[in-house]
Amino acid sequence: MSDRPRAAKETPLAIICGGGSLPLAVADAVTRRGRRVVMFPVRGFADPRDFADYPCHLIATGQFGRFRRLAVQEGCRDVVFIGVVLRPALRQIRLDWDTIRQLPRVFAMFRGGDNHLLSSLARIVEDLGFKLHGAHEVAPEILVPQGAIGRHAPGPRHEADIARGLAVLAAIGPFDVGQAVVVADSYVVAIEGAEGTDRMLERVAALRRDGRIPSAAGTGVLVKTPKRGQDRRFDLPSIGPQTVARAAEAGLAGIAVAGGATIIAEPQRVAAAADRVGLFVVGIAAAG
Amino acid sequence: MSDRPRAAKETPLAIICGGGSLPLAVADAVTRRGRRVVMFPVRGFADPRDFADYPCHLIATGQFGRFRRLAVQEGCRDVVFIGVVLRPALRQIRLDWDTIRQLPRVFAMFRGGDNHLLSSLARIVEDLGFKLHGAHEVAPEILVPQGAIGRHAPGPRHEADIARGLAVLAAIGPFDVGQAVVVADSYVVAIEGAEGTDRMLERVAALRRDGRIPSAAGTGVLVKTPKRGQDRRFDLPSIGPQTVARAAEAGLAGIAVAGGATIIAEPQRVAAAADRVGLFVVGIAAAG
């Protein structure tokens, strides 16, 4: 982007990454923009073999010292955090010197919700001397646009479910809890908690199989927005072809996400997958 | 109770019942109070063999006509509805003449949430000429009292989780969605949707096993209240020994329910189960 400072282009971008296809999509997008990237996959969440084309250093959760040393060696000053990194259990943390110095803060950050966890992490990274950026700032093409992706669009019945879903998400916004719900014919079927969107959709599929969702298959909408107060630099919600597949298995009519505030891995594949199964995927205006 | 009208004692009480141990507990309590009961277990949810000591007629979901005929034959005028009856899928409904006459209403009642479903059912039962009562009205001893049941009581850390859980439940109250949440050290781990409390607790147990709940085992509270606007005549939340067992499997510290507005199956067994696994079970003041 023309208004991005030149300095940001001159040093390679450190990408701390978890699972899914997004990290590679971001790395490729940043590379296409002419900037080098260095990948830091987090052990247990991302597979270094996915990043064979890039310089790559495996790090463990909590290895702030190792990350700092390697990132400085590589000449990185800017950091992006992307991909699925589940809330690590404290026992998974590998302690190193920088982590031990941060220990009171590390413990504190595991109390409370994800927003709290992630903004604590952001502060630690910045205290180590780096600048944290949002993946959507370094690769804006990864954001869902406003409007329908693919051939299908929501009808009035779906719009009503979307409105109800947004109302539920607004109501639970203050509690730093999940950021997705499933609503089918006005019935709130599922609210996402710590399990994440994929498992929530599996649950909806099971409820559908058991006849516990009154409306017929092909009704219902997954509504997903950023949490209120969420640090968008590294925790925007994301969707991918997998989301479409799981929504289809759950018998939904479509997916509504916040346009301009949702990351989409492989948009063409998402559109193709949605068209194939007859789902709509729509970017909507959402306060977030 | 002395203020209950005499007439109510003179006709046998029709108990339409789903699964779990509550229907038998209610039948026994009403019988101890000197009133006869006639059981109407709903096929697929309750087992008629559980009610061998009582007159018993199996009915299928939606057989309003059959129920009316049998209940009139038995001389019943008062009806109580108790036990786990999952939202029946439309396809499970066995149509009979009274149901067909009610069909537009039957279809309408499957749109929207459970409150809507249950209050529709209440209106149909009353239109058939019966009076619907709450199980807690005919057998008040089945309600959870205020205060701790068993040896353990919540500490300040648990009180904070209870307060947060109540706040989440108040926020989602307008949406006719689940009536239970799990909060652990201020982190909202799970919100109940259509899956029900048992499955939500199974989910929390799985999240705990996967290390996705940051606080250690032995923290966290199941908070469960009646939904706002819920028709208390037949849809109060309930707990039993099973709830304690599942909460223990989920690694929780305890269970907080609305005192005076929660049905408890087998209170002595609940207290014994809670004492054995070291959980608290507490009746709290909750708006509901």
Per-residue pLDDT tens over the stretch B56-109: 999 887 777 888 999 999 999 999 988 665 444 444 555 555 555 555 555 555
Of A45, A25, A13, residue with least CA distance to A239:
A25
Is B2 a residue whose pLDDT tops 60? Answer: no
B115 near B226, Cβ under 8 Å? no
Residue A24 belongs to domain with CATH number: 3.40.50.20
Would the pTM count as exceeding 0.95?
A: no
Could you tell me the two tokens for A55?
Answer: 């310089």
* B166 and B105 within one domain: no
* B115 and B156 within one domain: no
B282 vs A125: CA distance, rounded Å: 43
What pLDDT, in 10s, does the model give residues B153-173?
999 999 999 999 999 999 998
Residue A222 near chain B (CB below 8 Å): no
* A237 and A188 within one domain: yes
Is A124 within a domain?
Answer: yes
Helix axes A267-277, A241-249, angle to 10 degrees: 20
Cross-chain Cβ contact B188/A182 below 8 Å:
no
pLDDT for the residue B214:
78
Could you tell me the two tokens for A260?
Answer: 């301009």
* B242 and B214 within one domain: yes
pLDDT for the residue A180:
96
Residue A165 amino acid letter: G
Backbone angles phi, psi at A39, to 5 degrees: -90, 140
Q: SS3 letters for A103-130?
A: HHHHHHHCCCCHHHHHHHHHHHHHHCCC
Is A278 within a domain?
Answer: yes
Residue A176 near chain B (CB below 8 Å): yes
pLDDT for the residue A119:
64
Is B36 a residue whose pLDDT tops 90? Answer: yes
* B251 and B179 within one domain: yes
* A22 and A41 within one domain: yes
> Residue A77 CB: number of other CB atoms within 10 A?
16
* B41 and B70 within one domain: yes
* B161 and B37 within one domain: no
Task: Please report which helix (H) or strand (E) contains residue A157, including its range.
Answer: helix A156-172
For residues B108-121, give the mean pLDDT: 55
B39 vs B70: CA distance, rounded Å: 11
What pLDDT, in 10s, does the model give residues A30-56?
999 999 999 999 888 889 999 999 999
Is A229 within a domain?
Answer: yes
Q: Å from B117 to nearest chain A CA?
A: 10
B283 vs A42: CA distance, rounded Å: 44
Residue A104: exposed, middle, or buried by beta-carbon count in 10 A (0-12, 13-18, 19+)? exposed
pLDDT for the residue A227:
79
* B92 and B53 within one domain: yes
Q: Å from B11 to nearest chain A CA?
A: 35
B242 vs A169: CA distance, rounded Å: 31
pLDDT for the residue B89:
43
* A88 and A123 within one domain: yes
A41 near A23, Cβ under 8 Å? yes
B191 near A178, Cβ under 8 Å? yes
Residue B242 belongs to domain with CATH number: 3.40.140.80
- Into how many domains does chain B fold? 2
* A191 and A76 within one domain: no
Note the ipTM here. Answer: 0.73
Cross-chain Cβ contact A187/B113 below 8 Å:
yes
| Segment-wise mean pLDDT, segments of 10 residues, chain A, 288 residues | 50 89 89 94 87 93 83 94 58 52 53 55 80 87 91 96 96 88 95 92 94 87 86 75 95 96 86 96 83
What pLDDT, in 10s, does the model give residues B247-270?
999 999 999 999 988 988 778 899
Is A1 within a domain?
Answer: no
| Neighbour-count burial for A168-179, b at 16+ CB within 10 Å, e otherwise | bbebbbebbbbb
Residue B106 near chain A (CB below 8 Å): no
Is B1 within a domain?
Answer: no
Say if strands A238-239 and A187-191 run parallel, antiparallel, or are unpaired: unpaired
Partners of residue B92 in chain A, C-beta under 8 Å: 211
Q: Which of B140, B167, B185 is the last residue of a domain?
A: B140
Is A132 within a domain?
Answer: yes
Is A10 within a domain?
Answer: yes
Q: Which of B140, B160, B190 is the last residue of a domain?
A: B140
Question: Which residues form the domain of A273?
Answer: 143-284
Cross-chain Cβ contact A110/B214 below 8 Å:
yes
Reported as a pLDDT band with limits 50, 70 and 90, residue B10 is: confident
Per the prediction, chain B carries an average pLDDT of: 83
Residue B112 near chain A (CB below 8 Å): yes
Within 8 A by CB and 6+ apart from A33, the residues are A138, A139
Say if strands B180-184 and B221-224 run parallel, antiparallel, or are unpaired: antiparallel
Q: Which of A120, A140, A160 is the last residue of a domain?
A: A140
Cross-chain Cβ contact A215/B88 below 8 Å:
no
pLDDT for the residue B114:
52
Residue B45 near chain A (CB below 8 Å): no
A145 vs A276: CA distance, rounded Å: 20
Nearest CB to B191: which of A182, A193, A210? A193
Reported as a pLDDT band with limits 50, 70 and 90, residue B216 is: confident
Residue B88 near chain A (CB below 8 Å): yes
* A185 and A136 within one domain: no
Cα–Cα–Cα angle for A249, A168, A206, rounded to 5 degrees: 25
Cross-chain Cβ contact A203/B195 below 8 Å:
yes
Nearest CB to A177: which of B175, B188, B199? B188
Is B221 a residue whose pLDDT tops 60? Answer: yes
- Taking one residue from A and the other from B, the number of pairs with CB-CB distance under 8 angstroms is 129
| CA atoms in the 13 A half-sphere facing the CB of A138 | 33
Of B176, B191, B183, residue with least CA distance to B157:
B183
What's B92's DSSP letter?
A: G
Residue A249 amino acid letter: E
Q: Is B190 helix (H, G, I), strand (E, B) or coil?
A: strand
Residue A178 near chain B (CB below 8 Å): yes
